[in-house]
């Protein structure tokens, strides 16, 4: 029941919220012991803040919930590969695992730096990739 697909569907619901708010449709959740402790979606337009990425907002919420800056027993589920800024925040939080749907070949951390994440962070990619890419393509199609 608590599979990567199960949790990614919840992250996709967060991405859909962003889409409806005219934000780049990226959603993120953080899970600890099969419990969702943080949910977020991009809010850069709403907050007029270039750092208000779904991952950053989820990290902050999870750290507040757990009352610690270290998230080594947690998993981040995010609909797009984190950018270098978010990878840096994930590095410092020592997130235990990152599961993302689609690669970001333009701005994803893996394109820019293979050492952006903590060496103990596990990575899983491609989970519900088609659904995440569809949402991104629809969003940017409406912008052109």
Cβ 135 vs Cβ 19: under 8 Å: yes
* 110-135 as b/e: b if 16+ CB within 10 A: beeeeebbbeebeeeeebbbebbeeb
Alpha-carbon gap, residue 45 to 23, rounded angstroms: 6
Residue 92 has phi, psi (to 5 degrees) of: -70, -25
Nearest to 108 by CA among 95, 90, 92: 90
Active site (catalytic) residues: 55
């Amino acid at each position: 029941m608590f599979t990567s697909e199960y949790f990614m569907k919840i992250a996709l619901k967060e991405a859909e919220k962003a889409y409806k708010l005219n934000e780049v449709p990226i959603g993120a959740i953080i899970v600890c012991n099969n419990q969702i402790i943080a949910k977020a979606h991009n809010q850069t337009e709403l907050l007029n803040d270039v750092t208000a990425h779904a991952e950053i907002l989820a990290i902050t919420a999870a750290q507040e919930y757990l009352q610690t800056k270290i998230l080594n027993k947690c998993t981040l589920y995010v609909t797009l590969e984190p950018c270098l800024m978010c990878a840096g925040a994930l590095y410092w939080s020592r997130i235990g695992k990152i599961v993302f749907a689609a690669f970001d070949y333009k701005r994803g951390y893996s394109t820019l730096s293979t050492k952006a994440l903590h060496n103990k962070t596990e990575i899983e990619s491609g989970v519900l990739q088609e659904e995440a890419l569809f949402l991104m393509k629809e969003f940017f199609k409406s912008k052109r």
